[in-house]
Structure 1
Amino acid sequence: MHTKITSFSEADIEEASELLARRHQGDRIHEPALPERFSRPSEARLELEQTWKASTVNGMSAGGVVARQDGKMVGYLIGVPKINEMWGRSVWVEYAGHALDRSYSAELYRDLYAALSPTWVALGCLYHVTNIPASDQAAIDAWFNLSFGKEHVYGLRETAPASSFDVPIDPTLEIRRASPADLDISSQLDDVISLHQSRSPVYSIVTPYDREEVRQETLEQLENPEWKTWLALRNGQLVSTQVYLPAQPPRGIGNMVLPEKCSFLGFAATREEEQGQGIGRILTAHGLADDYATGYAFCFTDWRATNLLSSRMWMRQGWRPIAYRLTRRLDERVLWSHAKASPAPWLDKRFANE
């Protein structure tokens, strides 16, 4: 059967919503905690419409494509452009921005990307991102075969009562919730994560930030009753901290992975010389037990796949991967090498005449 790939349009949203809802039904077989409502096309449509609307920003469109066989939609792919200091010139395939009929080969993702990505390159967006369900190994393999790699992991686990955690007792540690009076103490580990991730093997960038602005944000968090900052102190010195808050839709992922009554472990840091001593494990047990006691059934968190400490710790603490962010960065030389057939005026002659 011949597969025809055409541009995505507003008229395709209804059929694509049905495809996305069926994808979610399959995802829930592997992870029943995923919210059931997105198995209905009407609910899946809300996420898809937001993604399609975001595909055009300030007149710049990353577009979308649809694959059909015998007139039936069997797959779609939508890109969302993002241009900012953090991500540079990038295009994101958000969690709701793609789906395939799983009775067809996941190889179709490669064809959809091949058809749509020239639009992204023409915009000068060479950093490409896709967010996919962790349970869809066939899709993961297809994206890996497009030279994408796993950058970020999104995980989910149940909260639990304190009695279910088997953690060592350290009488030298004081565990307590921070108050606004603890502003100075709770800010002591602000740079631990960024510095750790700037090193091998993550090599993440560290951008300058306004410390006074961050300090004010921290104070607002400490004053917010829904944000819980837990401190682990030894002899009055902060050795570890974790922040729990009501879960919000993650960037590029949206609502489709967040169950009801879900919290978010948004920040966790341990002083470098104290790492590996089990302090983070003790603090996590405390935070999850408190969330359980206050009515949360699940806790969501995320981490860099290349961060060896966090990727191992959170899996050991019971978080299950439910989604991955895969990325690919193109060599910027494709911008001039593609122009050789019809040289742009700014190209050096020796490239244009090759």
Structure 2
Amino acid sequence: MTGAAAIENGELIGFLCAPPPHDRAFGTAAKGIFSPLHANGVTRKTGIDRARVMIRLYTYAAERWTALGTNYHALSVFAHDTETTNALFNLNFGRRCADAIFTSMEEPPPVIFTLRELDREEIPLVRELRIKLSDHLACSPCFMRTSEKELADRLSAAEKRGTRLFAAFDDYRTVAFIEVGDSGETYLTWNTGMKSICGAYCLPEYRGKGVMQALVCLAKKETRARYLGVDLETMNPAAAGFWRKQFTFYTSGLTRRVDEKI
């Protein structure tokens, strides 16, 4: 771990840490460093200017991180912590992603499509949708492009992992899917009563018909999860709009790109 700690009168009032830097941060050519949710925070003790403490922590840590050759700095913070979030926005950070949680089990609106969990041998039925999702993320405003080899490797890995897939069918056509695993991006997903959505896509012409909402409810019911979480790219308007209606955001993934000439 590398980073900074803020101490006042012998008492720890804040910290900002991160594991060692890594190459190709967020799939880019940049070297990056990431402070996860449990590796940063500022006390809520009365009289502490939390925004000022976070600014000083980042100022100290960033100098050392850039000395390690990093240009991509990322932090995960609680979404409701507006003091920290606003302080980082003023330091040129922007929100790239978020974690959200779904707890409601309200009956979804009726749909005319077939919804069911896929058997292991049926996993290739969602391959075309995975490819369309990759194509969508490559376009503006996401620009999350992958090479043909990277996509092939991701498809192979996705079809081998021990997740559960729930899909919607219009006759024999696969029109949407949700993939659910046992863990997610934050330490909160280690809760045994929580499952995490790690993949989802719906064909554009089937959106707004209640298909994805029905799949979410089916996945929660079939996995017997008390909570269902998702990590998402907030720069993907179509997806973020859906998740925001159905889920409560609890983290913000903030990123900053430092000029490579520094």
TM-score strictly above 0.5? yes
Cα 1:68–1:210 change in 2 (3 A) is closer
Cα 1:211–1:152 change in 2 (3 A) is closer
TM-score by length of 2: 0.88
Root-mean-square deviation (Å): 2.1
Cα distance in 2 for residues equivalent to 1:187 and 1:239? 11
| Partner residue in 2 for 1:234 | 170
**Alignment check: 8 A CA contact 1:80 1:92 kept:** yes
Instruction: Pick from 311, 319, 322 the counterpart of residue 250 of structure 2.
Output: 322
Using the TM superposition, name which of 137-146 and 150-159 deviates more.
150-159
Structure 2 unaligned spans of 5+: none
Sequence identity (%): 18
Q: Which amino acid aligns with 1:80?
A: P
| Partner residue in 2 for 1:50 | none
Q: Deviations over 1:214-255 (max 9, x none)?
A: 55544434xx4xx32112111211111111222x241xx3x2
Q: Deviations over 1:114-150 (max 9, x none)?
A: 1121111112101000111112111111111111111
Cα 1:165–1:249 change in 2 (3 A) is same
| Partner residue in 2 for 1:96 | 38
| Partner residue in 2 for 1:135 | 80
**Alignment check: 8 A CA contact 1:65 1:112 kept:** yes
Matched, 1:192 2:139: no
Q: Secondary structure at the match of 1:142?
A: helix
Q: Which amino acid aligns with 1:72?
A: E
**Alignment check: 8 A CA contact 2:111 2:210 kept:** no
| Partner residue in 2 for 1:206 | 146
Q: Secondary structure at the match of 1:189?
A: helix
TM-score by length of 1: 0.67
Matched, 1:278 2:223: no
Q: Which has the larger radius of gyration?
A: 1
Q: Deviations over 1:163-208 (max 9, x none)?
A: x3131331xx222221133243221211222221222222223244
Instruction: Pick from 267, 271, 276 the counterpart of residue 199 of structure 2.
Output: 267
**Alignment check: 8 A CA contact 2:116 2:168 kept:** yes
Structure 1 unaligned spans of 5+: 1-54, 56-62, 335-354
| Partner residue in 2 for 1:108 | 53
Q: Deviations over 1:67-97 (max 9, x none)?
A: 1222222112113233233253011122122
| Partner residue in 1 for 2:12 | 73
Q: Which amino acid aligns with 1:307?
A: N
Using the TM superposition, name which of 73-82 and 125-134 deviates more.
73-82
Q: Which amino acid aligns with 2:250?
A: I
Q: Which amino acid aligns with 2:43?
A: D
Cα distance in 2 for residues equivalent to 1:112 and 1:218? 38
Tell which has more relative contact order, 1 or 2 (C-alpha 8 A, sep 6+). Answer: 2
Matched, 1:144 2:89: yes
Q: Deviations over 1:262-286 (max 9, x none)?
A: 1111111112333333322222222
Q: Secondary structure at the match of 2:31?
A: strand
